[in-house]
Structure 1
Amino acid sequence: MQFLDTTLRDGEQTPGVALSTDDKVFIAKKIDELGVNIIEAGSAITSVGERQSIKAITAENLSAEICSYARIMKQDINYAIDCNVDSVHLVVPVSDLHINVKLRKDREAVRQMAVEVTEYAKDHGLTVELSGEDASRADLDFLESLYSSGIEAGADRICFCDTVGMLVPEKTEQIFNHLASSIQVPVAIHCHNDFGLAVSNTLAALRAGAKEAHMTINGIGERAGNTSFEEVIMALEWLYKYNTGINCEEIYRTSRLVSRLTGIAVSVNKSLVGANAFTHEAGIHVHGLIADTSTYEPISPEIIGRERKVVLGKHAGKSSVTLALKELGLDTDAAQLDEIVSRVKELGDHGKKITDSDLQSIAETVLDIYRESMVSIEEFTVVSGNKITPTASIKLNVNNKSIVEAGIGDGPVDAAINAIKKAISGVADIQLEEYHVDAITGGTDALVEVIVKLSKDGKMITSKGARTDIIMASVEAVLNGINQLMKE
């Protein structure tokens, strides 16, 4: 079985993509490192710049066979020869729609052109893969007879192109069962993904006797794209237990390279190489992963050069939070863990995903609060608005005694801090020296981290609070600092 990668030809035909020569060489070298058999480096007829790129790739002396796309015109072959390629992908329109409308010829004229150009390419030392364009909408008897004529003229391989993605797996299997048994040279499959069946049709063709598959990295290509390389390879390796010979550990790095150089982002939920493919949030899933990663992963991410990720949100449970905390080097007791999980879920309910920075800030705040506290909050209310003096009322437990106080200020945060200072004035004289607020992450739902510097009898400490609500984060930071000062 062989694999032809057409990322640099069909993939580059994705609207908006234009790769430089350096980009093409970089990608070609990476694809060669994967162990792909044939690299379709471009179409030599396209432009001077395209020929420069193909020449630069052939000059690299890669292990893969280097191929140029060509029409059934001798001029295309001459340009390909000039680029020093090993082979041509000689594409022949075979449906009556393409023959009559695009070429404005008849079947026999197209057959003769295909034979003549095949012979010409072979006479000049090129390997020829004769491809039927729009084969899935062609008359199959004519298609097979054209293939036979091409093989007689010297074609080394033939290819069936599902140019507009019209195949279904059942039909594909039927076609390739017949072609593979009646044609004596290797038969290839080239699919497009217009109905989302490119991978399924490619696998069906390979099961039915096809010896070569055309694919692109990340499935890029015109319209809905081409057959996804990574999906076919990993399906063969893991679902069909077939040794492809591909260096699978380089798949993800190759995917990222192609995405970066083409500017085409990979969908987050794309299989295998999407951002979420090995990312877990739901608590029950993470609990299973801790016991055995195969519970919620079909393969280990390392197999394709990836790493597992755990993100936290409203579905997070104790298992996922515990795992994430361990990665941060933080240990908690049961009460502390419950509070951290509660805060994570609170953020998750606002649609926020918890980053490592968020979790660390939350955890450090909770760990400080859950040290032996002399002052804790029981009730808290703040009123603020247009033409209303910001007012805060607070009920604190100070040394096991409830104290209720109110305060006003320039804003709700100032009012809250003044209320706290009044509530503890009979116990300790504590001054706010500095106040600083940071949004850990962007957006209106950002986790706010408030850092305060407090002093008492010449002693100075810094403490912080972390919430999505700046007022509560400020109250938390001040109470945390008060507890630290009153214990010293």
Structure 2
Amino acid sequence: MDLFGDFPEQTPPSDSDVQFLDTTLRDGEQAPGISLTPTDKAEIARKLDATGVGVIEAGSACTGAGERETISRVADLGLDATVTSFARGIKGDIDLALDCGVGGVNLVVPASDRHIEGKVGTTRDDVVETAVRLTEYAKDHDLWVEVLGEDGSRADLDFLERLMRAALDAGADRICYCDTVGHATPDRTADVISRLAPLGPTSTHTHDDLGLALTNALVSVAAGADLVHATVNGIGERAGNVALEEVAVALDHGYDVETVSTEKLYDLAQTVATATDVPLAPNKAVIGENAFTHESGIHTDGTLKDDAMYEPYSPSAVGRERRLVLGKHAGRAGVRAALDEHDVDVTKDELNAIVEQVKEIGERGKRITDTDLLAIADEVQGRERDQRVELLDLTATSGGATPTASVRLAVDGEEQVASGVGSGPVDAAITATRRALDIDATLESYHVDAITGGTDALVTVEVEVSHGDHSVTVNASDSDITRASVTVMLDAFNRLLDGNPEPAVADD
């Protein structure tokens, strides 16, 4: 089946032809669990404006007094972008938008018979009359007006064209094709936009329910749409809206169409992720952690030889940096490059031994940090690492109601003693150790990795500890789980403090 054979031939638009309407603050916020504060919306709006977004839909004035206060705050920021409010086909919604001081409204009216008859309970003629009357009313009040045909992807195309033509004749600044439920295929999208674009300025609003939001947005532009509705990170109802950063980069990289300042996209994405508490998927295009991260030995080697070997565009184009990480797929080139960054010279045999240990750790599902790598290199090259923290004595009891432990440490040659309580002797011992050091470190994970059989069972404890921007994963074995736990914590602290000239330890 040739899905794309009947697409109309179009000339890709020039730079000035395509802009964005960002609806993160309205459609994006409608995603379950998201509620943006006025401060959040103001910060996001400022960054959208700085990125070059032309229209910012700040919310729905009809939602309530709190939402109107927030919309007003965004409208008062003095942005270059046009700030709008979503408005239903009700005169009162336009009045509420006017009270917020916005520059425009996104006026939505039903377009499909499912919505006209089943949702609103009206007729096609009444919908056209409402669109015309409210468009004229909004224009009389000096508002920029975009008329959206809700569920346009399932509408009768002849009626949709009639509705949008009437809106433009009434003075609407532009019309919008809405794939409200992410129903449309690319060929359907092309058919609709090709009918609407000749009428006047046409926008496209796509959702990702079929995973086609980006494709449909690009097809819309190819068919004549010149404004794309999008949200940052693709947040939105159900499967979300088309992601602004993906459309912007696809147009820029694939068609030389510049829409926004792409180098600001990553910072914008992080801001929205933090405000919405919706973390970025590691494999998310453009802004995911893994987008410019290489572990595979083949890919790392190729990237070191040529930046573009395994990347379609430079990470700096979207405000990112390339990362070469070490794991079970690591190769000699990647490990050598990481060692070179720390000015560590190794022989061929030493490199092979380091690579073998890196792969062994990676096989256990662990990531190898710079601190880990340097510790492995020290071990392979037989260098003694300064032990700034040494365990002198450890006692732990659990016979009473509250498990307790005490430790005596040598820290840079000075003795430190501390005690602690916990849910068990191990917890108490770790608490005592951290008190003795008073180091600003976080125990990210702790687990027993392996236990041998027999009465003298050997316990292997593995921990991940972070300190500032660094983290380390280490393990230690002992027949005493409490001693193994303290030993591994001290080993982690030694590695983390090794490159820190100012030890963060207690003075008393």
Q: TM-score, normalised by structure 2?
A: 0.74
1:414-433 → structure 2 map (5 Å cutoff): none
Q: Which residue of 2 aligns with 1:94?
A: 111
- The equivalent position to 2:242 in structure 1, one of 192, 212, 227, is 227
Whole-angstrom CA distance in 2 between matches of 1:43 and 1:329: 57
- The equivalent position to 1:125 in structure 2, one of 111, 119, 142, is 142
Q: Which residue of 2 aligns with 1:206?
A: 221
- Which secondary structure state, in structure 1, belongs to the residue aligned with residue 290 of structure 2? coil
- Which secondary structure state, in structure 2, belongs to the residue aligned with residue 387 of structure 1? coil
- The equivalent position to 2:333 in structure 1, one of 305, 319, 324, is 319
Q: Which residue of 2 aligns with 1:302?
A: 316
Q: Which residue of 2 aligns with 1:274?
A: 288
Whole-angstrom CA distance in 1 between matches of 2:169 and 2:453: 87
Whole-angstrom CA distance in 2 between matches of 1:310 and 1:449: 28
Whole-angstrom CA distance in 2 between matches of 1:267 and 1:438: 27
2:184 matches 1:157? no
- The equivalent position to 1:9 in structure 2, one of 14, 26, 32, is 26
Range with greater deviation from structure 2 (327-336 or 142-151): 327-336
CA contact (8 A) 1:357 1:440 kept: no
Q: Deviation at 1:102?
A: 1.1
- The equivalent position to 1:47 in structure 2, one of 38, 61, 64, is 64
Q: Deviation at 1:243?
A: 2.3
Whole-angstrom CA distance in 1 between matches of 2:61 and 2:255: 37
Q: Is the alpha carbon distance of 1:449 and 1:332 closer, same or farther for their aligned partners in structure 2, counting shifts above 3 Å?
A: farther
Whole-angstrom CA distance in 1 between matches of 2:331 and 2:137: 68
Q: Which residue of 2 aligns with 1:393?
A: none
Whole-angstrom CA distance in 1 between matches of 2:189 and 2:126: 28
Q: Which residue of 2 aligns with 1:76?
A: 93
Question: Which amino acid counterpart does residue 9 of structure 1 have in structure 2?
Answer: R
CA contact (8 A) 1:281 1:315 kept: yes
CA contact (8 A) 1:176 1:208 kept: yes
- The equivalent position to 1:144 in structure 2, one of 141, 161, 164, is 161
2:456 matches 1:439? no
CA contact (8 A) 1:311 1:354 kept: yes
Whole-angstrom CA distance in 1 between matches of 2:240 and 2:311: 26
- Which secondary structure state, in structure 2, belongs to the residue aligned with residue 40 of structure 1? strand
1:332-343 → structure 2 map (5 Å cutoff): 332-343=346-357
Whole-angstrom CA distance in 1 between matches of 2:258 and 2:455: 74
1:172-191 → structure 2 map (5 Å cutoff): 172-181=189-198, 183=199, 185-191=200-206
Q: Deviation at 1:438?
A: 7.8
- Which secondary structure state, in structure 2, belongs to the residue aligned with residue 227 of structure 1? coil
- The equivalent position to 1:252 in structure 2, one of 216, 241, 266, is 266
- Which secondary structure state, in structure 1, belongs to the residue aligned with residue 145 of structure 2? strand
- Which secondary structure state, in structure 2, belongs to the residue aligned with residue 4 of structure 1? strand
Q: Deviation at 1:387?
A: 3.1
Q: Which residue of 2 aligns with 1:462?
A: none
CA contact (8 A) 1:439 1:449 kept: no
Structure 1: tracts of 5 or more residues without a match? 372-382, 391-410, 414-436, 451-468, 478-488
Q: Is the alpha carbon distance of 1:131 and 1:346 closer, same or farther for their aligned partners in structure 2, counting shifts above 3 Å?
A: same
Q: Report how many residues are paired.
A: 397
Q: Is the alpha carbon distance of 1:193 and 1:368 closer, same or farther for their aligned partners in structure 2, counting shifts above 3 Å?
A: same
Residues 322-379 of structure 1, C-alpha deviations (whole Å, 9 max, x = no match)? 11112233221111111110000111121222122221221222222699xxxxxxxx
- Which secondary structure state, in structure 1, belongs to the residue aligned with residue 46 of structure 2? helix
Q: Which residue of 1 aligns with 2:455?
A: 387
Q: Deviation at 1:168?
A: 1.4
- Structure 1 vs Structure 2: percent identity of aligned residues? 48
Whole-angstrom CA distance in 2 between matches of 1:192 and 1:385: 56
Q: TM-score, normalised by structure 1?
A: 0.77
Q: Is the alpha carbon distance of 1:69 and 1:384 closer, same or farther for their aligned partners in structure 2, counting shifts above 3 Å?
A: closer
Q: Deviation at 1:448?
A: 2.0
- The equivalent position to 1:56 in structure 2, one of 68, 73, 77, is 73
Q: Deviation at 1:84?
A: 0.7
Whole-angstrom CA distance in 2 between matches of 1:306 and 1:255: 11
Q: Deviation at 1:27?
A: 0.3
- Which secondary structure state, in structure 2, belongs to the residue aligned with residue 265 of structure 1? coil
- The equivalent position to 1:348 in structure 2, one of 362, 370, 373, is 362
Question: Which amino acid counterpart does residue 301 of structure 2 have in structure 1?
Answer: H
- Which secondary structure state, in structure 1, belongs to the residue aligned with residue 229 of structure 2? strand
- Which secondary structure state, in structure 2, belongs to the residue aligned with residue 13 of structure 1? coil
Q: Is the alpha carbon distance of 1:37 and 1:21 closer, same or farther for their aligned partners in structure 2, counting shifts above 3 Å?
A: same
2:448 matches 1:448? no
Question: Which amino acid counterpart does residue 474 of structure 2 have in structure 1?
Answer: L
CA contact (8 A) 2:372 2:473 kept: no
2:381 matches 1:367? yes
Residues 128-186 of structure 1, C-alpha deviations (whole Å, 9 max, x = no match)? 100000000011111111111111211110000000111111221222222222x0x20
Q: Deviation at 1:90?
A: 0.2
Whole-angstrom CA distance in 2 between matches of 1:387 and 1:303: 60
The structure with the larger Rg is 1
Whole-angstrom CA distance in 2 between matches of 1:174 and 1:300: 35
Whole-angstrom CA distance in 1 between matches of 2:97 and 2:455: 78
Q: Which residue of 1 aligns with 2:304?
A: 290
- Which secondary structure state, in structure 2, belongs to the residue aligned with residue 276 of structure 1? helix
- Which secondary structure state, in structure 2, belongs to the residue aligned with residue 161 of structure 1? strand
Q: Is the alpha carbon distance of 1:342 and 1:370 closer, same or farther for their aligned partners in structure 2, counting shifts above 3 Å?
A: farther
Q: Is the alpha carbon distance of 1:363 and 1:127 closer, same or farther for their aligned partners in structure 2, counting shifts above 3 Å?
A: same
Whole-angstrom CA distance in 2 between matches of 1:5 and 1:440: 40
